[in-house]
Amino acid sequence: MSTPTFAGADRSRPMPATNAARVDDIQAALGALRHERSRFERLGFERPQARCHAEIRYWSFLAALHSLPAAAGHATPTPGSTWPGPPVR
């Protein structure tokens, strides 16, 4: 999964500075990935569809993580930092 399905799901792009902007980006990525997955399904492309499914799982996890209330003393991301990278193997 080194290549994103579309630019909005690129994990190497800078992380938005505010939580609201991060949530908006996550929701946009999920919507676009779901659309792409259904398009690949209609076209019968199994491998890209499976990649979309894996990316949807990742971005859904981020959505759940960012929906949690902020804990007191929780560190905020540094502006310009990137989304978490690809899984460690």
Calculate what percentage of the chain has a pLDDT beyond 70. Answer: 71
- Look-up: residue for tokens 């690949």? 40
Instruction: State the pLDDT at residue 42.
Output: 95
Instruction: State the pLDDT at residue 9.
Output: 79
Mean pLDDT for 11-36 is 90
Does position 7 have pLDDT exceeding 60, yes or no? yes
Mean pLDDT for 35-56 is 93
Instruction: State the pLDDT at residue 2.
Output: 46
Q: Write down the domain spans for the chain.
A: 30-68
Mean pLDDT for 41-70 is 91
DSSP state string for 37-86? HHHHHHHT-HHHHHHHHHHHHHHHHHHHHHHSPPPTTPPPPPTT-B---S
Cα distance from N-terminal residue to C-terminal residue, the chain: 12
